[in-house]
Amino acid sequence: MTDLIGYLAAGLTTLSFLPQALHTFRTRDVSGISLGMYALFTTGVALWVAYGALMASGPLLAANIVTLSLALAILVMKLRYGRAPRKD
Scanning residues 30 to 49, which ones bind its own copies (CB under 8 A)?
Answer: 30-41, 43-45, 47-48
H or E stretch covering 58? helix 58-81
Determine contact, residues 30/78, Cβ cutoff 8 Å. yes
Count interface residues toward its own copies (CB under 8 A): 43
Interaction of residue 59 with its own copies, rule CB under 8 A: no
Cα→Cα distances 25→12, 17, 21, 50, 77, Å: 20, 12, 6, 28, 7
Interaction of residue 54 with its own copies, rule CB under 8 A: yes
Binding residues (CB under 8 A) for its own copies: these are 1-2, 5-6, 8-20, 22-24, 27, 29-41, 43-45, 47-48, 50-51, 54-55
